[in-house]
Structure 1
Amino acid sequence: MSIALFILRRLARGVFTILFAVTVTFLLLRLLPGDPALAVASPNMTDQAREALLTQYGLDRPLFIQYFLYLGQLLQGNLGTSFTQSIPVVDVLMQRLPWTLLLTVTSLVLTIVIGIPLGVLAASHKHRFLDRLVQVFGVTGQSLFVPSVGIVLLFVFGLNLRWFPIGGAYDEGAYGMQWYGSVLSHLVLPAISLTLIQLGSYVLTMRATLIEALGEDYITLAKAKGVPPRTILWKHAVRNAMLPAITLIGLQLGFVVGGAVLTETVFAYPGIGRGIYEAVTQLDFPVLQGAFLLLAVTVVIANMLTDIAYGFLDPRVRTS
């Protein structure tokens, strides 16, 4: 299969996945308990004013008509208007997106920086104490629950030791370098929480792929030629073992996004995840739809780019 056809197939799959996510999100939100009209209509309104307001937001129309109107708005780049804030959903999301990006990117970087050395350490000490210790750490990390980790970190390092703030993204009134320091201190606990829950999978994957690489014939040949063990490990084995690990980064992005929603809620971090929680409590459908769409598109694009990159790096993927 040619590169162009491979990319086109992945793009088509991505478009259908996004359309499916939009449809499921639209329908699921309508199944939530409660009347969305309560979010836009005041109890003191007259019946005429209430009906006019519902008509303005299209809430008085049949469900299938609301769906196609929503798709039409999406094609025009219009995500609607927030029921509770009365501002465009795009503005609501853009206010929160930088904080979510800061948290998720920091977490991914920490996962890579910590996960690769730990995986290499375990594989290079196979079946020894360090290997078993790292495996215990990895399995434990895979079984952690995001809110539980966040609450423990808040209780120990926020409430008891008072090393870090327990909520928000920065201190009110901070400015200049003080503001940057405040942002960093508020970021520490959420970033550690999100890193811990995804680190286990990355470490165990890196360990398994590196052990497999160390058993290949080219490694045996390098040893026979007298290549130094450190060079064999880092230049030959790690380099080839990185391909599945890089793929895992793209595949785990959905897990990171889901973890960010829970993490931001626990730490009252003003990202999109916290916005989703607030929108659910307020039945703010437009914000929920916009947030879910943004997260779905992000995950689909990341996976699509990962597939394409893997196709370039390993031609066997294009022919499978």
Structure 2
Amino acid sequence: MPVVWLVGRKLVRALLTLLFAVTVTFLLLRLLPGDPALALASPNMTEETRAAILASYGLDRPLLTQYVLYLGQLVQGNLGVSFTQSIPVVDVLAARLPWTLLLTGAALVLTVLLGVPLGVWAASRRGGLLDRAVQVLGVTGQSVFVPSVAVLLLFVLGVRLGWLPIGGAYDTGVYGNAWYLSVARHLVLPALSLTLVQLGAYVLTIRSTLIDALGQDYTTLARANGLSPRRVLWKHALRNALLPATTLVGLQLGFLVGGAVLTETVFAYPGIGRGIYEAVTQLDYAVLQGAFLLLAATVVVANMVTDLVYGLLDPRVATR
């Protein structure tokens, strides 16, 4: 199948997925209990004042009209204005996005750096103590709730031992290299929380695909040619086992984004997730819609790129 046709088909699918996400988000937010006008003024406001506030943001119009107008704004790259901050939603998200990218990026790198050697060691010692321990930890890691891990780490490493900061993204009043060091220290706990939850699936995938690769004919031939077990494992078997693992990295980005929303809330980390929490409490529809759209777009694009890479690397799946 031509590459252009493959990319075009994936792009259309991604756009339809985004449209579905936008529609569901738009409708669900309107079902939230509460009155957005109360977040903008006093609960003792008159009915005329409330109506004027809703009209100024177009919330007094029929739902279908609001939806059509919102889609029209999206096409123009306009995400609206924050109800509570009275600034463009784009500016609100732009201030928070770098922190979320830093957190998810650090967690993803840690997952790969820890997952590959653990998966390899478990596969090379199949049935041994290390292999059983990795399997138990892997299944456990997939079963726990992200905030539970975050709270546990916060309490043990932050409160009881006092080794790391328990909230925020950096210390105030520090500059230069001290600021970067402060950012790194504040990043450890939230990034570690996300890593521990995601690591299990990655390690188990590496282990299972590597065990399968070690039983294939090409690894048997490599051993027959006199190659050392270490060389067969790391150069031949692992190279082929990394293809499914590479795909999993892209798919895990969606879970990382979802986990970041919860983790940022626990650690008061100033990313998109913390912004979503604050917007929910304030019924700030505009910020919520923009944040959910941004997160959905991130996941859709990551999955599309992963799908394309997998299709290019393995032509057998390129025709799906």
TM range (shorter): over 0.9
How many residue pairs align between the two structures? Answer: 320
Q: Following superposition of structure 1 onto structure 2, how do residues 203-282 of structure 1 map, counting pairs within 5 Å?
A: 203-282=203-282
Deviation for aligned residue 1:199: 0.2
- Residue 80 of structure 2 corresponds to which residue in structure 1? 80
The one-letter code of the counterpart of 2:73 is Q
Deviation for aligned residue 1:239: 0.4
- Residue 32 of structure 1 corresponds to which residue in structure 2? 32
1:37 touches 1:59 (CA, 8 Å); kept in 2? no
Deviation for aligned residue 1:40: 2.5
| Counterparts of 1:85 and 1:34, CA distance in 2 | 19
Q: Following superposition of structure 1 onto structure 2, how do residues 130-145 of structure 1 map, counting pairs within 5 Å?
A: 130-145=130-145
Deviation for aligned residue 1:228: 1.4
The one-letter code of the counterpart of 2:95 is Q
| Counterparts of 1:144 and 1:187, CA distance in 2 | 21
3-state SS, counterpart of residue 82 of structure 1: coil
The one-letter code of the counterpart of 1:112 is V
Q: Structure 1: 5+ residue runs without aligned partners?
A: none
| Counterparts of 1:87 and 1:151, CA distance in 2 | 33
The one-character-per-residue Cα deviations of 1:53-106 (angstroms, maximum 9, x if unpaired) are 322200110111000010001011110111111111011001100100000000
The one-letter code of the counterpart of 2:2 is S
| Counterparts of 2:149 and 2:191, CA distance in 1 | 11
Deviation for aligned residue 1:15: 0.3
Deviation for aligned residue 1:37: 1.9
- State which drifts further: 135-144 or 300-309: 135-144
1:119 touches 1:203 (CA, 8 Å); kept in 2? yes
Q: Structure 2: 5+ residue runs without aligned partners?
A: none
Identity %: 73
| Counterparts of 1:243 and 1:270, CA distance in 2 | 34
- Residue 125 of structure 1 corresponds to which residue in structure 2? 125
TM-score, normalised to structure 2, is: 0.98
Q: CA RMSD in A?
A: 1.1
Deviation for aligned residue 1:312: 0.6
Deviation for aligned residue 1:44: 5.9
The one-letter code of the counterpart of 2:14 is G
| Counterparts of 1:67 and 1:36, CA distance in 2 | 17
TM-score, normalised to structure 1, is: 0.98
The one-letter code of the counterpart of 2:30 is R
Deviation for aligned residue 1:319: 2.7
| Counterparts of 2:39 and 2:72, CA distance in 1 | 23
| Counterparts of 2:39 and 2:299, CA distance in 1 | 30
Runs of 4+ in 1 over 6 A off after TM superposition: none
- Residue 163 of structure 2 corresponds to which residue in structure 1? 163
Deviation for aligned residue 1:39: 2.0
Are 1:176 and 2:215 counterparts?
no
Deviation for aligned residue 1:149: 0.6
Deviation for aligned residue 1:41: 3.6
| Counterparts of 1:319 and 1:156, CA distance in 2 | 50
1:37 touches 1:54 (CA, 8 Å); kept in 2? yes
- State which drifts further: 201-210 or 4-13: 4-13
| Counterparts of 1:108 and 1:47, CA distance in 2 | 50
- Residue 192 of structure 1 corresponds to which residue in structure 2? 192
3-state SS, counterpart of residue 269 of structure 1: coil
